[in-house]
Amino acid sequence: MEFNRIIKLLRKERGITQKQAAEDLGVSQALLSHYEKGIRECGLDFVVRVADYYNVSCDYLLGRSAERNGMMLTAEDIPNPDKMKDNVYHGSVLPTMNKKLISNSLNVLYAKIAECHSKALTTEVSTYLMMAVAKMFRMIYSAEPHNAPSLFGIDARRWPGYSDAVMRMSEANVDALLAGEDLPTGEGVKDPSCLAMTTESLTREYPLYTPSLLNLVKASETHVKGLNPEQ
């Protein structure tokens, strides 16, 4: 995320006017407006002032870190949902059940991908899945008109087409990698036997997660069949 969009987002989240923020930061409203629109670049001293004002790091303001404290996220930093005490949605069991179905199914999916020893395959599958989550989150976020649109770098008009294109490209790349083709991002799967599996073998290897995966597949096919009542 660019500096101008970050400072605008932070101001909107705090619920203060541009005039008030400019006064607090010791600049004119016109200058702050230029900063927020990306018309002018600010100096390092202003970056430090903004960081202190919004209680974030300079690395976050400069787009070097997605974390507001400036930390670089590693695999060890990501919480394990299976071990979180608050891993329950109060008021309904449906969200909890669906979340567990998806989470458990992903455990099986990534375990089978790992057996192929293809970083490119992992990357393309992850890109597809992350884009799907991002699409749903943006739809939910944008449903409330008061939420700051500056959270996103791609404008709302282009986002649906662009995101769909990325997902289709990732899907095509996965298909090519599974066929053994090499991509600029890495080698394809040369021995498809690494993906040999049956429901019995999956249940044996992943007894905790396979029931969720099989239920997810069944539910997905039910949705598809609903498009054609004759099936």
Q: Are residues 57 and 145 in the same domain?
A: no
Domain contains 142 = yes
Instruction: Give pTM, 2 decimals.
Output: 0.71
What does the pLDDT look like over 2-11, one tens digit per residue?
A: 888 889 888 9
CATH number, domain with residue 33:
1.10.260.40
Indicate whether 37 and 108 sit together in one domain. no
Instruction: Encode pLDDT of 5-29 as tens digits.
Output: 889 888 988 889 999 999 999 999 9
CA 209 to CA 202: how far, in whole Å?
Answer: 9
The phi-psi region of residue 210 (left if phi > 0; otherwise alpha if psi is between -120 and 50; otherwise beta) is alpha
Buried-state track 26-57, b at ≥16 Cβ within 10 A, e below 16: ebeeeebbbbbeeeeebeeebeebbbebbebb
- The answer to whether residue 73 sits within a structural domain is no
54 and 88 housed in the same domain? no
The answer to whether 108 and 206 have CB atoms below 8 angstroms apart is: yes
Please report whether residue 126 resides in a domain: yes
Is residue 197 domain-resident? yes
In a domain, 27, yes or no: yes
Geometric angle at alpha carbon 92, from 91 and 96, rounded to 5°: 120
Q: Looking at residue 227, what is its pLDDT? A: 82
Express each pLDDT in 56-74 by its tens digit: 888 888 887 777 776 665 5
**Total domains in the fold of the chain:** 2
Domain that holds residue 29: 3-61
28 lies in the same domain as 96: no
Q: Is residue 36 part of a domain?
A: yes
